[in-house]
Chains A and B, each alone.
Chain A
Amino acid sequence: MGKITKYLPSALVGSTIAAPLAYIAYIYQKDNHQKQHAVLRNFPLLGRVRYMAEHVGPELRQYLFSGDNEGLPFSRMQYQDIVKAGKYNERLIGFGSSRNFAEDGFYIRNSLFPKLRTELKIDNSKKVTTYQYVVDHEGLMSRKEHREEVLTDPYYLRDEDAVVLGEGYCRQPFRIKGQVGMSAMSYGALGENAITALSKGLGIAGGTWMNTGEGGISDHHLAGDTDLIMQIGPGLFGVRTPGGEFSWEAFKEKADMEKVKAFEVKLAQGAKTRGGHLEGQKVTEEIARIRLIEPGKTVNSPNRFTEYDSFEKLFDFIEEMREVGGKPVGMKIVVGDVEGLEEMVQIMKDSGKGPDFITIDGGEGGTGATYQELADSVGLPILTALPIVDELLRQYGVRDRVKLIASGKLITPDKIAIALSMGADLVNIARGFMISVGCIMAGVCHTNTCPVGVATTDPDLQDGLVVGEKMYRVANYVMSLRAGLFNVAAAAGVESPTMLERKHLTHKDIQGRISSVGSMIHKIEQEEQEEKDVEDLPAKN
């Protein structure tokens, strides 16, 4: 006993020093003799520091080194805006904006006579029961807070201001009392807990919609009391025959569902230009049932519908869908080919046919898996694409029968208001909603290892996402966006955000010069004409 007590301290000190030294020696030898990495052969230990820094760099940048307004796709500030709105229903800030006003950007033209709160056309006649957190104490290492049940104003549009899809063109138009809804996110891309929380949260908020994504209508989309827009992609999931063709019978069955209010045909979308691929091992019994495919069997979906390859055929198909289903049918596009778009609008005018709504997905959109080259450079960003589509529809006199839904990083009321001013009737949000159910922007949506259980079907990881908690954050987020839109409308001097127009928007360039949206479109047209003139020159040899 005495000897142990005597030698224990030296033994402990010895092993504390010896063990790391031994490990370092082992690593040194191993790295020095490997042939794969040059840096490790030359600097065996320092080289490892590089790999470690690379691994934890994103986290360090996010929490320690990046400024509040840095970071893409969303800055820390934008991320916090969503979280605070969902959790605390808190949107006030102190000490002014941290936006860099020297850069170019869009601004809402505020009226010198803004509308009073009592002059705004809001429908708050049905208050909404939700939960929000109240902070009791905020310490350096801890935060004490508790959840409270509250009644809150939903900020619906008045009945007369409601946006109606398919009015006058189909038997069951879709009337919407809020201008913000959920962009297409399939069950499978997001886990069942995430989809369920979104469905229930949107149902609580009311006056909104949920786009099912091309993966079809799952029980999780139906879990809440919210309206659905069913998306139909080239894979025809949920509306296909066993042979892979469009099934009118399955389509009619979906159209008869009360919660399904409209359909959206997805054309060549930027992020999915590659087409779809679903590994057989992911095709569970449930997914097979939802998508009407065979369990366990790999399914490849093409990057465009094989049924039609021209606007005429597409419009005939849409007409038939509208006739059979009785509900509005829209189409989702990414704008890149402006001339092709003009051709489409021309055909809409000439034939009197076409979609009830067009969803314009900005090139910056995208929730999940795609290739870098497609995500970065295919398709125009929303604030460029949107006014082009709006203007074309106006020029050809068909704007009145088509509603526009815009999407692409429009996650805060000011960004949404800018899109509405540019011509959007409604706005779709995907990643904002992912953040509201707990997404921490880990950037691993494509790996099925989402650490917070949002973009994963792994049951263990999904266990972290509690539906009963997150659904209220979704509801609070939607309602806070709508409240914010009314704030912007009041500042612009109009009674409702449905009245926001181009004239309420101005663009300031880096030199401080301002221009209107109309003049910007005119400039684009001029440049296109100049490009055409160049095309007329002899081809280069």
Chain B
Amino acid sequence: MKVFVFGGGGDVGEYVLKKLAAENHEAITIAETENRAEELKMIGAADVCVTKDYDFVDAISGCEAIIYIAGANPTAGENRNVLVDKEAVARAMEEARTQGIERVVYLSPARVDESAESQDTGGKKIPEELIKLDVFTYTVVYSSRGVHKPGKGTIDVITSPRKKVMEIPYEDVAAVLVESLTNKATYNKTLKVVPGNTPIENAFKSV
């Protein structure tokens, strides 16, 4: 499957590119500079669109799905990686609709263990409402706080918030996104993902 990854250069994004390549998907993403594009190709991107003004229209052409890691936007910069650029998401979705892309996997910037108030701060939840209302077959993923630790390939999908959840490896969050792409159990669902002991595919069966 040809997949456009918004946010392929981020902590989760790099693992998404690697895992998509490992599962014979074709990952397309965007970068600010040629240098960064080369780096992302080394990681696993099949193609990288170099743009400084977030012009992804040509690159998204021919893609069958989108993985959107919120906060991802070359113009956002490192200091804005918490507050999602909802305009950027809206533009991406509009273009996706134009191109006939139906499948969207969205990693929310709101964490599973954040308070409701905090989840709303900075309009973090607005873009996913947009995705849900549109024509897409969506999966929205909330995860606990990501860390640079080796992935275990196991998670738990929870239904109600827990008081205290453990840190989850970025690699496992990426695995959830890539697995969701083709796993019909996740279609049109919002998943709350925390570290656990269930293999990802099995964890989705109980969704």
A347–B98 CA distance with the chains assembled, in angstroms: 71
Residues of B within 8 A of A158 (CB): 38
Check if B149 sits within 8 Å of A148, measured CB to CB: yes
Q: How many A-B residue pairs have CB under 8 A?
A: 34
Residues of B within 8 A of A148 (CB): 149
On whether A150 and B35 interact (CB within 8 A), knowing A123-B42, A125-B42, the answer reads: no
The answer, yes or no, to whether B64 is at the interface (CB within 8 Å) is no
The answer, yes or no, to whether A119 is at the interface (CB within 8 Å) is yes
Residues of B within 8 A of A127 (CB): 148
Q: Number of contacting residues on B, CB 8 A?
A: 16
Check if B150 sits within 8 Å of A118, measured CB to CB: no
Check if B149 sits within 8 Å of A151, measured CB to CB: yes
Residues of A within 8 A of B46 (CB): none
| Interface members, chain A 265-298 (any B CB < 8 Å) | none
Check if A150 sits within 8 Å of B43, measured CB to CB: no
Task: Tell me the minimal C-beta distance from B158 to chain A in angstroms.
Answer: 24
Check if B42 sits within 8 Å of A151, measured CB to CB: no
Check if B33 sits within 8 Å of A149, measured CB to CB: no
- Which listed residue (B38, B39, B150) contacts A151, Cβ 8 A? B150
Check if B39 sits within 8 Å of A119, measured CB to CB: no
Residues of B within 8 A of A384 (CB): none
On whether A124 and B148 interact (CB within 8 A), knowing A118-B32, A151-B169, the answer reads: no
Closest partner residue, chain B, to A495 (CB atom): B35
A119–B36 CA distance with the chains assembled, in angstroms: 7
Task: Tell me the minimal C-beta distance from B48 to chain A in angstroms.
Answer: 13
The residue in A122, A125, A152 that gathers the most chain B C-beta atoms within 10 A of its C-beta is A125
Task: Tell me the minimal C-beta distance from B75 to chain A in angstroms.
Answer: 13
The answer, yes or no, to whether A351 is at the interface (CB within 8 Å) is no
Could you mark each residue 119-134 of chain A with 1 if its beta carbon is under 8 Å from any beta carbon of chain B, else 0? 1111111010100000
Residues of A within 8 A of B39 (CB): 122-125
The answer, yes or no, to whether B85 is at the interface (CB within 8 Å) is no
The answer, yes or no, to whether B113 is at the interface (CB within 8 Å) is no
Check if B36 sits within 8 Å of A118, measured CB to CB: yes
Q: Number of contacting residues on A, CB 8 A?
A: 17
Residues of A within 8 A of B128 (CB): none
Check if B149 sits within 8 Å of A118, measured CB to CB: no
- Which listed residue (B36, B42, B149) contacts A149, Cβ 8 A? B149
Could you mark each residue 136-159 of chain B with 1 if its beta carbon is under 8 Å from any beta carbon of chain A, else 0? 000000000001111000000000
Could you mark each residue 136-174 of chain A with 1 if its beta carbon is under 8 Å from any beta carbon of chain B, else 0? 000000000000111110000010000000000000000
Check if B148 sits within 8 Å of A151, measured CB to CB: yes
Residues of B within 8 A of A495 (CB): 35
Could you mark each residue 168-186 of chain B with 1 if its beta carbon is under 8 Å from any beta carbon of chain A, else 0? 0111000000000000000
Residues of B within 8 A of A152 (CB): 148
Residues of A within 8 A of B32 (CB): 118
Residues of A within 8 A of B44 (CB): 125
- Which listed residue (A121, A125, A151) contacts B35, Cβ 8 A? A121
A158–B36 CA distance with the chains assembled, in angstroms: 12
A125–B44 CA distance with the chains assembled, in angstroms: 8
Check if B35 sits within 8 Å of A129, measured CB to CB: no
Could you mark each residue 39-72 of chain B with 1 if its beta carbon is under 8 Å from any beta carbon of chain A, else 0? 1001110000000000000000000000000000
Task: Tell me the minimal C-beta distance from B174 to chain A in angstroms.
Answer: 12
| Interface members, chain A 91-144 (any B CB < 8 Å) | 118-125, 127, 129
Task: Tell me the minimal C-beta distance from B47 to chain A in angstroms.
Answer: 16
Check if A119 sits within 8 Å of B169, measured CB to CB: no
Check if B33 sits within 8 Å of A119, measured CB to CB: yes
A137–B76 CA distance with the chains assembled, in angstroms: 36
Check if B33 sits within 8 Å of A150, measured CB to CB: no
A120–B169 CA distance with the chains assembled, in angstroms: 26
Closest partner residue, chain B, to A124 (CB atom): B39
Closest partner residue, chain A, to B18 (CB atom): A125
A158–B148 CA distance with the chains assembled, in angstroms: 22
- Which listed residue (B43, B147, B150, B169) contacts A125, Cβ 8 A? B43
On whether A119 and B35 interact (CB within 8 A), knowing A125-B42, A125-B43, A151-B171, the answer reads: yes
Residues of B within 8 A of A150 (CB): 147-150
Residues of B within 8 A of A120 (CB): 35
Closest partner residue, chain A, to B42 (CB atom): A125
Closest partner residue, chain A, to B36 (CB atom): A118
A122–B43 CA distance with the chains assembled, in angstroms: 12
Check if B150 sits within 8 Å of A149, measured CB to CB: yes
Residues of A within 8 A of B170 (CB): 151
Check if B148 sits within 8 Å of A118, measured CB to CB: no
Closest partner residue, chain A, to B40 (CB atom): A125
A495–B39 CA distance with the chains assembled, in angstroms: 13
A257–B25 CA distance with the chains assembled, in angstroms: 38
A149–B171 CA distance with the chains assembled, in angstroms: 13
Task: Tell me the minimal C-beta distance from B41 to chain A in angstroms.
Answer: 9
Closest partner residue, chain B, to A160 (CB atom): B38
Task: Tell me the minimal C-beta distance from A445 to chain B in angstroms.
Answer: 37
Task: Tell me the minimal C-beta distance from B19 to chain A in angstroms.
Answer: 13
| Interface members, chain B 96-149 (any A CB < 8 Å) | 147-149
Task: Tell me the minimal C-beta distance from A243 to chain B in angstroms.
Answer: 52
A120–B33 CA distance with the chains assembled, in angstroms: 11
Residues of B within 8 A of A124 (CB): 39
Task: Tell me the minimal C-beta distance from A161 to chain B in angstroms.
Answer: 12
A240–B32 CA distance with the chains assembled, in angstroms: 57
Residues of B within 8 A of A129 (CB): 150
Task: Tell me the minimal C-beta distance from A455 to chain B in angstroms.
Answer: 34
A495–B171 CA distance with the chains assembled, in angstroms: 28
A127–B42 CA distance with the chains assembled, in angstroms: 12
Residues of A within 8 A of B36 (CB): 118
A150–B43 CA distance with the chains assembled, in angstroms: 19
Residues of A within 8 A of B149 (CB): 148-151
Residues of B within 8 A of A121 (CB): 35
Residues of A within 8 A of B38 (CB): 158
A191–B182 CA distance with the chains assembled, in angstroms: 54
Task: Tell me the minimal C-beta distance from A534 to chain B in angstroms.
Answer: 54
On whether A118 and B43 interact (CB within 8 A), knowing A148-B149, A149-B150, A151-B169, the answer reads: no
A148–B171 CA distance with the chains assembled, in angstroms: 16
Task: Tell me the minimal C-beta distance from B12 to chain A in angstroms.
Answer: 12
Residues of B within 8 A of A125 (CB): 39, 42-44
A495–B148 CA distance with the chains assembled, in angstroms: 25
Residues of B within 8 A of A149 (CB): 149-150
A119–B149 CA distance with the chains assembled, in angstroms: 25
Q: List 10 A-B contacts (CB under 8 A).
A: A118-B35, A118-B36, A119-B33, A121-B35, A125-B42, A125-B43, A129-B150, A149-B149, A151-B148, A158-B38
Contacts beyond the supplied A125-B42, A151-B171: 17 A-B pairs with Cβ under 8 Å: A118-B32, A118-B36, A122-B39, A123-B39, A125-B43, A127-B148, A129-B150, A150-B147, A150-B148, A150-B149, A150-B150, A151-B148, A151-B149, A151-B150, A151-B169, A152-B148, A495-B35
* 4 A-B pairs with the lowest CB-CB distances in the bound complex, closest first: A125-B42, A151-B148, A125-B43, A129-B150
